[in-house]
Structure 1
Amino acid sequence: MASAGRPPTTRRDAGPARWRRPVGVGALVLATGAAALTAPATALTAAPTPVNFATRCVPPPVAGLPPINGTTTAEISVNDTTPRVGDTVTVTYRVTKPAASNPVDLALPADIMTPSGTTVLGGAQTGRITVTGPKKNPPVPAKGAFPPFSMTGTFKVTAPGEITLSPGDYNIHTSYIMELDTPCTVSSPPAPVSLTITAEGDPAPRERAIELGAASGKPGARVTVTGSRFTPLTEVTVAGRAGAAQTADRMTLTTDTDGAFTARLKVNDKATTGIVAYEGASWSDDKGAGPAAYTVEDDTPLPRQSQRINALVANGTLAMSQEGDTVQLSKVDFGTGGGADGALRTVTVRDFRGGPAGWSLTGKVSDFAGPGGSTIDAEKLHWSPSCATAPGSPSTCAAGSEGPVGTGGATLAATPDAALTGGEFTVDAGLSLKVPAFTPPGAYTGVLTLTLT
């Protein structure tokens, strides 16, 4: 008997809202010894289309009946057929004709049936969506056909292009006298595609840039700062930077209709090492440009028989490393299921940039592929992140939230923006793959990809 319906999954943000270029990517192969059935989508359609597919339904053991091999009629619809990458789409899986029926000589009252299932994604984005329906149904006569039902769920669009949606397995749970399940699986997966949607890509980030008319100057000299690709007709601050700190040398102006500007910034602070420009009240990595290197030539007269000694602390890089690339999870038993547990191979993040930007380490996992085309849904992998900060580090690392990883991704660890950031950090996580009870035996493997931005 299959398990009761699964609750809908809530996707979590894969990282901070600001846009950053990825500077590090790592992958871990995750393996265990049990699985679940899923199916990829196939042919394309232009609009929601009812489809028929062979289905094998298993009556509750208490009924003492053999499996039912029948035909399910269903269709998939969404609230948005042209989403953008990053949008959340609501999916409705409507079964208009279930393959199963009431297997006993006992009429079932109203509102005792709760459906659950999966919708299968294919094309530009693959995976499965958990869908559930309300506990609602009309009365069902003895040995009568089960009524139609609808299930809903959501997914976050992660890739542009055509995405197909197909019906997947479903389960009918009844709560009357006893708690019983009638699981129905697609006999020859994948089921036909019922709907194709077209996702548009992310809006191109504004790659703001500045150029200086000179690389150095005496205290009080004005340097020409030319900016491009900022937001049109927006106030921009141009300021000096002393390492990671902003100096009092600053001015504001408004960009033209093309998002460009030209400023003449007077630089007085002898500690200035660069110049930045940004939109908004304070510096942010996603709305700023720079720093562009600038040196103030100290012309203060020296006493006789003395020497001026200069030193430079150079900016480094943001990088990550991991202790190995394979995790072996513990075994689970067929018929029992449970958590296949293990631990992430330790990741070390070194932020030696010496600037104001923090970082975010995110991860996403593929479905777990097993024998004979069997899979375990990526949403079944959960982690419990932890992060330690090395003594003396300017930043403090914060671990991501405990919960599912999935194909959409989740945050493993991060540090915030600040006047001065950096340091060395050790990131770990407990891993647990929630294996359904009657998953076909065998070895299953998924790939966890980590990205540092």
Structure 2
Amino acid sequence: MAKTLRTLAAGSGAVLLLGVGSMALADTEHDTSGVDVTVGITPIEEPGVLAMSVAADSVALTENGSDATARVFTGELPTVTVTDTRSADEIDPTVSWFVMGSSSDFTTGGGDTISADNLGWTPRMVDAGDLGAVIEGDPVDPALDGGPGLTDEVLLTGAWQSAAVAEEGQWSATADLTLKTETTVAPGDYSSVMTLSLFE
């Protein structure tokens, strides 16, 4: 019986020594090597867009051409640019886009008002592209000259959309502005808001 106990004790000792040896081996570092890991992530392909930008957010009209029958004030609309980044298959060739302009009444802090229909414009292309598919709108006369004034009038339009037009991708226009009032208009600092909107 004593012999059996000694054998078990010896076996336990052997197991203990083997465990210590394994721990020592794991703590020994012989060499190190690095591996570079790279990945190329491409941009998400977004659909193209039809968008409009305006070169400035204000314009001041100055008196120019007044006579005994009317007071006339003129200026130039900041350049309006339409950009189309859509591919040809994203464009419906049966649909046109338009930039429309509409003015609010001119008012002063004291309550004096000049009706918006006293403002007219003459659109002019700045960059029409080479195909002639994007054109300016018609001139609009002020009310004193028999016109309707600026209420939802066309500045420029992409009248014929096509794959070829899509390749041009950008066009711009401006307009000569004319405010014409009665000679009896009250003096003061007037302001108005010209709203430009892109529709398709």
Question: Per-residue CA shift, 1:79-104, capped at 9, x if unaligned?
Answer: xxxxxxxxxxxxxxxxxxxxxxxxxx
1:402 maps to: 139
2:188 maps to: 442
Identity among equivalent positions (%) equals 34
Partner AA of 1:399 in structure 2: E
**Change beyond 3 A, Cα 1:440–1:335:** farther
Question: Per-residue CA shift, 1:187-218, capped at 9, x if unaligned?
Answer: xxxxxxxxxxxxxxxxxxxxxxxxxxxxxxxx
Note the 1:329-344 alignment, pairs <5 A. Answer: 329-331=61-63, 337-344=70-77
**Change beyond 3 A, Cα 1:334–1:437:** same
Contact 1:339–1:435 at 8 Å: present in 2 too?
Answer: yes
Note the 1:157-176 alignment, pairs <5 A. Answer: none
Note the 1:36-435 alignment, pairs <5 A. Answer: 315-331=47-63, 337-353=70-86, 354=88, 355=91, 356=93, 357-389=95-127, 391=129, 396-404=133-141, 406=149, 408-420=151-163, 421-422=165-166, 423-435=169-181
Aligned-residue Cα RMSD (Å) equals 2.7
**Change beyond 3 A, Cα 1:388–1:436:** same
Question: Per-residue CA shift, 1:87-133, capped at 9, x if unaligned?
Answer: xxxxxxxxxxxxxxxxxxxxxxxxxxxxxxxxxxxxxxxxxxxxxxx
Q: Secondary structure at the match of 2:110?
A: helix
Q: Secondary structure at the match of 1:379?
A: helix
Unaligned runs of 5+ in 1: 1-312
2-structure distance, mates of 1:390, 1:372: 42
**Change beyond 3 A, Cα 1:397–1:445:** same
TM-score (norm 1): 0.28
Higher RCO (CA < 8 A, seq sep 6+): 2
Unaligned runs of 5+ in 2: 1-44, 142-147
Q: Secondary structure at the match of 2:59?
A: strand
Larger Cα Rg: Structure 1 or Structure 2? 2
Q: Secondary structure at the match of 1:327?
A: coil
TM-score (norm 2): 0.61
Contact 1:366–1:447 at 8 Å: present in 2 too?
Answer: yes
Partner AA of 1:340 in structure 2: F
Residue 389 of structure 1: how far off its partner (Å): 3.8
Compare the two structures and name the one with the higher helix fraction.
2
2-structure distance, mates of 1:359, 1:384: 19
Contact 1:336–1:438 at 8 Å: present in 2 too?
Answer: no
**Change beyond 3 A, Cα 1:416–1:374:** same
Contact 2:140–2:149 at 8 Å: present in 1 too?
Answer: no
Residue 331 of structure 1: how far off its partner (Å): 3.0
Contact 2:133–2:161 at 8 Å: present in 1 too?
Answer: no
Contact 1:395–1:415 at 8 Å: present in 2 too?
Answer: no
| Residue correspondences, number | 140
Contact 1:342–1:432 at 8 Å: present in 2 too?
Answer: yes
Greater mean deviation of Cα atoms: 404-413 or 443-452: 404-413
